């Protein structure tokens, strides 16, 4: 059976790198894997998403609305924006962290409140303070890999060798820090 994971965030958060790490681990675990992303203008502060499908034999690289088994959101508002992709009995893992958009930066529109409560009322939701935890580890950027720690725990992907995937994917001098972040994520 094909399973689907969707990752969403804001340009610069490392959404695509995180997806690459999972894909590498999935391939080494013997799955057929397809990954899809739409980029272009998104790197300029826009929404970014990456989709992973894995199983015995995957056809479409694209996840349909209502069909994702897991939604990992690196930013709060992006979780809400993409929630229609998640299946009603799916799992949402969300980083409790807000990034302003041009619209909220200038104070014209407030950053919406009550997002966590709204999400929890819809679907099984795990909220993590990954950005804070990553900062405490010494680099806010490893938030993405920390979220993967939470994923393998909550979605029972412990058969994946994520540490090896980190070694294949991440720049050499950041490997140690990313492994630390991954293991921290497993505890959260």
78-117 mask for another protein (x: CB under 8 A)?
Answer: x-xx-xxxxxx-----------xxxxxxxx-xxxx-xx--
Q: Would you say 161 and 148 are in contact if contact means Cβ atoms under 8 Å apart?
A: no
| Six token digits for residue 89 | 């009995």
If the CB atoms of residues 86 and 152 are measured against another protein, the closer one turns out to be 86
State in angstroms the smallest separation of the CB of 151 from another protein: 19
Residue 64 binds another protein, judged by CB under 8 A: yes
126-165 mask for another protein (x: CB under 8 A)?
Answer: ----------------------------------------
If the CB atoms of residues 58 and 188 are measured against another protein, the closer one turns out to be 58
Helix or strand run (H / E) with residue 187: helix 175-187
CA angle (15, 19, 22) in 5-degree steps: 145
How many residues in the chain? 188
How far is residue 124's CA from residue 82's CA, in Å, rounded to a whole number?
15
If the CB atoms of residues 122 and 187 are measured against another protein, the closer one turns out to be 122
35-54 mask for another protein (x: CB under 8 A)?
Answer: xxxxxxxxxxxxx-------
Q: Which residues pair with 32 in a beta bridge?
A: 55
Helix axes 175-187, 130-137, angle to 10 degrees: 140
How far is residue 18's CA from residue 27's CA, in Å, rounded to a whole number?
14
Give contact residues for another protein (rule: CB under 8 A). 10, 23-24, 27, 32-47, 58-62, 64-67, 77-78, 80-81, 83-88, 100-107, 109-112, 114-115, 118, 122-123
């Amino acid at each position: 059976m094909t399973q689907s994971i969707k990752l969403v965030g804001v340009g610069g958060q490392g959404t695509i790198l995180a997806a690459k790490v999972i894909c590498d681990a999935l391939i080494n675990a013997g799955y057929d894997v397809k990954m899809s992303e739409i980029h272009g203008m998104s790197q300029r502060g826009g929404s970014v998403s990456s989709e992973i499908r894995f199983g015995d034999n995957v056809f479409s690289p694209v996840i349909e609305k209502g069909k994702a088994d897991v939604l990992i959101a690196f930013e709060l508002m992006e979780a809400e924006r993409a929630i229609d992709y998640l299946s009603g009995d799916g799992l949402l893992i969300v980083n409790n962290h807000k990034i302003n958009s041009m619209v909220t930066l200038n104070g014209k529109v407030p950053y919406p409140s009550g997002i966590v409560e709204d999400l929890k009322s819809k679907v099984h939701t795990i909220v993590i303070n990954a950005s804070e935890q990553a900062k405490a580890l010494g680099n806010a950027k490893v938030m993405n890999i920390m979220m993967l720690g939470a994923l393998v725990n909550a979605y029972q992907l412990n058969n994946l060798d994520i540490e090896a995937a980190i070694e294949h994917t991440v720049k050499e001098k950041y490997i140690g820090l990313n492994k630390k972040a991954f293991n921290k994520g497993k505890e959260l």
